Structure 1
Amino acid sequence: MKVTRIAYSARLNPGKYAALLEQARRLGRVRSEVWQRYGSIGGVGSGLRDRQVRDRWLADGTHVRFGVLANAWKETVRDAMADIGANLASAKVEVRRAIIRRTGDPGERKRMFTALKADQWADDPFLARQMRKQWKRGKNRTHDQIVVRADQHNTVVDGRGLLWLAVPGLQRRQMVKIPLSTTVAPTGTLRLILRGGRVEVHYQIDASQLRSSQRPCGDATVGVDKGYTEALTDSDGQRHGVRLGRLLTTESDRLKERNRRRARLRSIANNAARRGDHAKAQRITVNNLGTFKRDRQAARHRARVRAEIFTAVHRVVDKAATVVAEDLTTSFAGRKRLGRNVNRRLAAWTKGVTAEALTNVSERRGSALVHVNAAYTSQTCHRCAGLGRRSGDRFHCTWCGVVWQADVNAAINILQRAGDPDIALHTPHRAVRQILQDRTDRHRTRLPVQDSSPATTERRANHPNRSAMSN
């Protein structure tokens, strides 16, 4: 397994940064050309490969007009074709779900799955219609990246112990040397990302080299519920990553206030421009409406959130050989309207980072990750399987009358669903609700009679279908 590491430039010369930025801009045109020509059914959808694209461009001279070295545009073509392939693969995930909803015949499902995998879906009307619906033509928005092949860069340490990375420039045999803020030399294929006058060097290493990969996993089977106030709550009632909610709320409120002030300054600048005072408008734009500081703060916030989530997942894996988690790739639209503050904070909910951390850490440390259907896990009582009401961190079961801690109740439901013979990973949520309702009805008929007074016995005899727990 590979993991990505990032090295940063240290006090980079502005002239070198400008040269790298120009190279990234030209390579962005290469990406745009690839997306425009081959980001559809006639390109990657027909099985076209990046080597075929390179051969075509060499034959018709397309590569000449970009003004970059051969290795640079070839690696960019390969990277852009991989992005288009990933975009196609994500569309196929939704189409597979549509196939499962359409038919329950194993033979028909296998036929459709095979045609989808082999990119022969254009001949099937249903598959073609679903692919047109899910696979939208993309557009390149990346103009700040340079992909450097493993044999095209080198590193050297100077007399002061500073590490320098040399990468190809726009001219042949002209290398751009970048000082790095680390002593660990990047290896393999590099991705240079230019942001705010600084270069980020992304590279991959073997996960076995990390110290955290040497930590053994536990031996228990644990269900986990992803949350907002904390990253994870397990089925044993233990919370992990309890600072996550505070981090997200503080950042959300800070962004609200900052954006309010920026909107006021932008209005002042626009009014000044309308009055003809362009010097004032320019001063406000340059000194008060820049993005350099904002982007740095956003990057630090993302790093803190990722550190909190990954630490929480490591603590779960410390005790679990099998981690059962809900599959949140399918969204469920709620009918309850929320306020603007709540919506803004939930928009920053990092469930994607949590899912990435669960997959990454489990694979590196040898723990099994099992995904289950997420439908109604937060709205079902784990004891009687009845649908109840959740308010904040409290879950009230309307059938057995018990109040549970909501996240612990959801984690236990997730753990129980791993062995559920009726609810599969892609079972539609309406079918899940019906299954749960049937189980609740069967459970109610087996509940013991709690009140054996003569009046109650007579009432139950007159109304046999009334629940024994109706009181």
Structure 2
Amino acid sequence: MKTTRIAYSQRLNVGKYRALAEQARRLGRVRSEVWRRYGSVAGAGLTDRQVRDQWLAEGTHRRFEVLANAWKETVRDAMADITASRESAKAVVRRAVGRHTADPAARRRLLGLLKTNKWSGDAYLARQMRKHWRRGQNHTHNQIVVRADKHHTHVDGNGLLWLAVPGLVRRQLVRIPLNTTVAPRGTLRLILRADRVEVHYQIDAATMKTSQRPCGGATIGVDKGYTEVLTDSDGNHHGARLGRLLTTESDRTKERNRRRAKLRSIANNAARRGDQAKADRISQNNLGSVKRDRQAARHRAQVRTEIFTAVHRVVDKATVVVAEDLTKTFAGRKPLGRDTNRRLAAWTKGVTAEALASVSERRGSALVHVNAAYTSQVCHRCGCLGRRAGDRLHCTVCGVVWQADVNAAINVLQRHGDPDITLRTPHNLVKQIVQTRANRHRSRLPLPDFSPALLSEERIIRKSHPDQV
């Protein structure tokens, strides 16, 4: 398993940055040409080697005025992006094929054509691929891909690490000072942002210190949240700073954008009055993006650190982690305010899912996804649908008030191995199953609110888990 690391340039010479920016601009034209010619049906089944041979035969590569290795690596990278886009469309078409025909032989034939990129000869598959695979466009003009054998590093007398990469002229390298002592290896991706070069490279995840930590031995269910990263079925909360980080950044961004909009309005009014000098001063001194982008990158790094740390703490306890599958969205019935919607828009469910998959794989624990429908609305003890109010779940049958995230984590754990509710069970069928089970449970309890056994169980739970009730 590979993981990406980023090194940054420091105190980079302006002339070097401009030379790299010009090279990235020309390579952006290469990407645009690849997407224009091969980003649709015409590129199906072609490899980057075939594209490169075709360009060499046609002389297309001479138009870009870059070194051979630079444009060839860019073609390879762009063709990989096109392939990823096509495979994403195929995943949607496979589900459509399953709905289209119930004949196993016909389904195997269609899926075989789809897998071997021969779908253009079938009318149904061609129509579906045209519907779901749209021609993309290139908007990347700030990246340079450097092959592993075309760069090297050295350390000067002051202990500063320098990275040498090819420029626009043969045998003239551009040397970049880095802010790290770890030399980047393998294929590099240089991304130019705000007068700074980001050096992206991959390392073997097995060499990381965190990958050497053993996992626990329990089976733990986890619920993903906003105020904290994860809540496990034992009642422990992990990553409690997440909600504060997201809320603070969202509110700060709202206020900053309000002030910037006001300044932009002043600049536009000055330009309309003919005072272009004032408009230019405001744009140059008050509406820049360098500081804003770096603050956003720092915030994203803090959020990722909080999330990955929380996931590591869960894996310290668990050999099997049971989590919700949140790839499907469930529309809420209760309308929320603008501030709440804005803050929830920054909720990084994708980063949490990425961390769970990455950390579990690196440390040898198993990640199991279960159906997320109604896990946050069902009482884990009696199975009845309760009333959710903030971070509390009120069960109208048991009469118990549960901590909502702990209750959801226990429900997630109970979904593991459920014979009736699988990962792909529709949410409306899940609700029917939940209600049927709840009815059976109530039929076995003549006086559920005053049952001595129920009250005794409730007292035990209150004593053993006071934070859940």
The two structures have a TM-score, normalised by structure 1, of 0.91
SS of structure 2 residue aligned to 1:442? helix
Instruction: Between 433-442 and 267-276, report the one with greater CA deviation.
Output: 433-442
User: 2:7 matched to 1:7?
Assistant: yes
Q: Tell me which residue corresponds to 1:464.
A: none
Question: Would the alpha carbon gap of residues 140 and 254 (structure 1) be closer, same or farther in structure 2, given more than 3 Å must change?
Answer: same
Deviation at 1:426, TM superposition (A): 1.9
8 Å CA contact retained: 2:393, 2:404: yes
- The 5 A counterparts of 1:218-367 are 218-367=216-365
8 Å CA contact retained: 1:100, 1:426: no
- 1:43-67 deviation digits (Å, cap 9, x = unpaired): 1xx2211111111111111111111
Paired residue type of 1:240: H
**Whole-angstrom distance in 1 between the partners of 2:395 and 2:441:** 14
Deviation at 1:10, TM superposition (A): 1.2
8 Å CA contact retained: 2:398, 2:449: no
Q: Tell me which residue corresponds to 2:457.
A: none
Q: Tell me which residue corresponds to 1:457.
A: none
**Whole-angstrom distance in 1 between the partners of 2:356 and 2:449:** 48
Question: Would the alpha carbon gap of residues 107 and 244 (structure 1) be closer, same or farther in structure 2, given more than 3 Å must change?
Answer: farther
Question: Would the alpha carbon gap of residues 260 and 33 (structure 1) be closer, same or farther in structure 2, given more than 3 Å must change?
Answer: same
- 1:89-116 deviation digits (Å, cap 9, x = unpaired): 2333334444556677766665554443
**Whole-angstrom distance in 1 between the partners of 2:35 and 2:432:** 45
Q: Tell me which residue corresponds to 1:461.
A: none
Paired residue type of 1:39: G
8 Å CA contact retained: 2:239, 2:310: yes
The two structures have a TM-score, normalised by structure 2, of 0.91
Q: Tell me which residue corresponds to 1:181.
A: 179
Mark the runs of 5 or more structure 1 residues left unpaired by the alignment. Answer: 453-471
61, 71, 74: which is aligned to 1:73?
Answer: 71
SS of structure 1 residue aligned to 2:144? strand
- 1:306-330 deviation digits (Å, cap 9, x = unpaired): 0000000000000000111111112
Question: Would the alpha carbon gap of residues 403 and 53 (structure 1) be closer, same or farther in structure 2, given more than 3 Å must change?
Answer: same
SS of structure 2 residue aligned to 1:42? helix
Instruction: Between 61-70 and 379-388, report the one with greater CA deviation.
Output: 379-388
Paired residue type of 1:379: Q
| Aligned Cα root-mean-square deviation (Å) | 2.0
**Whole-angstrom distance in 2 between the partners of 1:92 and 1:181:** 42
8 Å CA contact retained: 1:190, 1:202: yes
**Whole-angstrom distance in 2 between the partners of 1:403 and 1:319:** 27
- The 5 A counterparts of 1:295-444 are 295-444=293-442
Question: Would the alpha carbon gap of residues 113 and 429 (structure 1) be closer, same or farther in structure 2, given more than 3 Å must change?
Answer: farther
SS of structure 1 residue aligned to 2:56? helix
Q: Tell me which residue corresponds to 1:38.
A: 38
Paired residue type of 1:430: N
Paired residue type of 1:140: N
Deviation at 1:370, TM superposition (A): 0.8
Deviation at 1:253, TM superposition (A): 0.2
8 Å CA contact retained: 1:225, 1:410: yes
Mark the runs of 5 or more structure 2 residues left unpaired by the alignment. Answer: 451-469
Question: Would the alpha carbon gap of residues 404 and 333 (structure 1) be closer, same or farther in structure 2, given more than 3 Å must change?
Answer: same
- The 5 A counterparts of 1:145-184 are 145-184=143-182
Deviation at 1:417, TM superposition (A): 1.1
User: 2:26 matched to 1:26?
Assistant: yes
- The 5 A counterparts of 1:100-139 are 112-122=110-120, 127-139=125-137
8 Å CA contact retained: 1:317, 1:362: yes
57, 62, 65: which is aligned to 1:64?
Answer: 62
Question: Would the alpha carbon gap of residues 231 and 259 (structure 1) be closer, same or farther in structure 2, given more than 3 Å must change?
Answer: same
Question: Would the alpha carbon gap of residues 132 and 339 (structure 1) be closer, same or farther in structure 2, given more than 3 Å must change?
Answer: farther
Deviation at 1:377, TM superposition (A): 1.6
8 Å CA contact retained: 1:12, 1:198: yes
**Whole-angstrom distance in 2 between the partners of 1:299 and 1:220:** 36
Q: Tell me which residue corresponds to 2:80.
A: 82
- The 5 A counterparts of 1:454-469 are none
